[in-house]
Amino acid sequence: MSSPQSTEEIAEQPVLLEHPAEGVALVRFNRPKVRNALNLVVRKELARIFSELSADDSVRAIILTGSDAVFCAGADLREYADATTIEIFQRDASNLWRAIADCPKPVISAVNGFALGGGCELAMQTDIIVAGEGARFGQPEVKVGLIPGAGATQRLTRAVGKYKAMQMLLLGDFISAAEALAAGLVSKVVPDSEVASEALKMAVALAALPPIGLRQIKELALASMNNSLDAGLQLERKAFQITFSSQDKSEGIKAFLEKRQPEFKGC
């Protein structure tokens, strides 16, 4: 059994991994002095952690969060100031996000404060976004002579539509949590003090559901963004049929008929 980490040891870790409930993992940014800005170390650590969580059968839902004051204020511009095209190409930082975007398990972003630039793009690669009333979302890259580089021109437009996305991308405007909810960028807005508890409540509920079903739903929903309706419906029919070989299907129906809580095993 490992000994508890000291405050100094925790402070030196840019990303923290916690397990607040059975079946739930919580990944937390830990760079408060720079508002949880993303540097290459953070990106690599996120990729490593999410790759491990994706392969861990004991984990059924994941929460990604920052602090009570800020989710993530974007890229650490100190790494960009003197960087050349070749250096950015060789870092291949955007490819590190694939461990998050391709995670087969439900991922919830719990957002307090700013989710800007890469922070907003990171939240958009998760499946559910819970935002505090004081949260702010934005893609301000154009204001420093850059453009989004981790998916915002594609994901934001799909999430909120052309005109709201163009406002955020071209002007670098921030939007409030209420505006983000109305535009379809976030799933739910709660008081700032309730973001963590609401995300955990959702994650616990997800962890109690059948993992195979959740994985198939996530795959189908994400595929719908790139497939025609006919192709998507065909994929859905096949996935629906596959669930009839699942023990969780039998357990779920039996539990419903017997008026008890099901115990899903992920098989």
> Which residues form the catalytic set?
75, 118, 121, 141
| Residues 185 and 177: beta-carbon distance below 8 Å | no
Tell me the angle at which helices 211-223 and 229-242 cross, rounded to the nearest 10 degrees.
170
3-state secondary structure of 23: coil
Tell me which H or E stretch contains 98. Answer: helix 98-101
Q: How many residues does the chain have?
A: 267
| Residues 153 and 147: beta-carbon distance below 8 Å | yes
3-state secondary structure of 111: strand
Rounded Cα gap, residues 138 and 34, in angstroms: 17
3-state secondary structure of 27: strand
Paired residues of 35 in beta bridges: none
| Residues 115 and 130: beta-carbon distance below 8 Å | no
Rounded to 5 degrees, φ, ψ at 175 are -125, 150
Rounded Cα gap, residues 147 and 38, in angstroms: 16
